[in-house]
Amino acid sequence: MFIDSARFSVTSGKGGQGCAAFRREKFVVKGGPDGGDGGRGGDVYFLVDNNTDTLSNYKGRKFFKAENGKQGLGGSMTGKSGEALVLIVPPGTQVIDDETNEVIFDLLEVGKKVLFLEGGKGGLGNVHFKNSRNQRPTYFQPGLPGTTRKIRLELKLIADVGLVGYPNVGKSTLISVTSNATPEIANYEFTTLTPKLGVVGVGDYNSFVMADIPGIIDGASEGRGLGLEFLKHIERTKTLLFVIDVANYRTMIDQYNVLKQEVAKFSTELSKRNFAIVLSKIDGYFGEDLEGDIKKFINEIGLEVTTSNEFKFEADYPYYIQDLIYSRFDETKPYFVLPISSLTKLNIKQLGFALYNLLEQGK
């Protein structure tokens, strides 16, 4: 089950109390105090593990606690320290203070281990309180308590390319034919209920990660549909790929304008990312003039049809791509507008190479 948020309290271990003991040894008279210190309470750590991609381990859990330190022993022996609590999270997890909403950690690096809460210090044994006026102390210190904090974990997937589109426009099919992902695919809206990641291979040695999220509808940034809940999963993506359905009852320009608006409302920073556009379901078009409709859309967003490119796009339909040989990359424009068909594989292989080249522009 995909879980991308969790809320609970976590406490570090309490320090063990010191010990009041006296040396007892044959032929040794009045050996004196020798009570050891209490053990230190267990610390709390966060560990970023690439082998997990969900917060499901924390579902239904309200409290986590590290082990307490053990009491000191006679013979000046220190008690055993409490075992540390290691909370394992996937890359992209934010640790947030649930009371102040402060982001404590933003955990991105795989293998990184960070100390969150220190355990309580163990109390001193009576051996520390011997002096010339009191050579037989019977008191010791209790251990210090651990620290408790209420936190919230929020997972934001890390991907190179994030798919953005209305429900049932072909995003799941696209990620299934371009990557190793196996999402559920059906001919109805909101088939995708959880984000999906897939690795797209480019040639023999290169690859990038693509993320598919539930479809966005009008008002998604205000909480309608599933978009608001999962838009956060494309916040970390380097580029956005807008998926426009040519067979949808909505016009291509209407789909594009709404998607751009919803992304901008959700995050101004996200709306400034490099992006590209694919026109999906070419094979399902039921209008009269597909070529004319594509040209019209390209013109409506202020661009002109391109006649050549380095990726060998199929020339059956109009397309647009920025010419980076003689011009610099323009971040205000889509890198390309490309008609595709996941069913017939039209321009699918070329899409992978073009997206990889777009990612290079962000470095």
**Residue 81 known to bind ligand:** no
**Residue 248 known to bind ligand:** no
**Residue 268 known to bind ligand:** no
Strands (E) located in the chain: 5-11, 44-48, 63-65, 85-89, 93-97, 103-107, 113-117, 148-155, 161-164, 196-202, 206-212, 239-245, 274-280, 320-321, 336-339
**Residue 241 known to bind ligand:** no
Q: Which residues of 150-182 are buried (b: 16+ CB within 10 A; e: fewer)?
A: ebbbbbbbbbbbbbbbbbbbbbbbbbbbbbebe
**Residue 167 known to bind ligand:** yes
**Residue 172 known to bind ligand:** yes
**Residue 52 known to bind ligand:** no
**Residue 158 known to bind ligand:** no
Q: Which residues neighbour 149 within 8 Å (Cβ) at sequence distance 6 or greater?
A: 9, 10, 97, 116, 117
**Residue 213 known to bind ligand:** yes
**Residue 245 known to bind ligand:** no
**Residue 289 known to bind ligand:** no
| Cα–Cα distance for residue pair 72/126, rounded to 1 Å | 10
**Residue 171 known to bind ligand:** yes
**Residue 168 known to bind ligand:** yes
Nearest residue to 334 (alpha-carbon basis) of 310, 289, 292, 304 = 304
CA angle 148-153-159, nearest 5°?
150
**Residue 244 known to bind ligand:** no
**Residue 9 known to bind ligand:** no
**Residue 85 known to bind ligand:** no
**Residue 192 known to bind ligand:** yes
| Cα–Cα distance for residue pair 161/93, rounded to 1 Å | 18
**Residue 31 known to bind ligand:** no
**Residue 54 known to bind ligand:** no
Side-chain half-sphere exposure of 128, counting CA atoms within 13 A: 14
**Residue 50 known to bind ligand:** no
Which tokens is 142 given? 């209790």
**Residue 341 known to bind ligand:** yes
| Cα–Cα distance for residue pair 31/321, rounded to 1 Å | 89
Q: Angle, nearest 10°, between helix axes 252-266 and 290-300? A: 40
**Residue 344 known to bind ligand:** no
Give the neighbor-by-neighbor strand order of the sheet with 85-89: 85-89, 44-48, 113-117
Secondary structure (DSSP) of 124-166: PPGGGG--SS-SS----PPPPP--EEEEEEEE----SEEEE--
Q: 238 with 274: CB under 8 angstroms?
A: yes
Q: 168 with 184: CB under 8 angstroms?
A: no
Q: Which residues are annotated as a binding site for GTP?
A: 165-172, 190-194, 212-215, 280-283, 341-343
Q: Which residues are annotated as a binding site for Mg(2+)?
A: 172, 192
Q: Which residues are annotated as a binding site?
A: 165-172, 190-194, 212-215, 280-283, 341-343
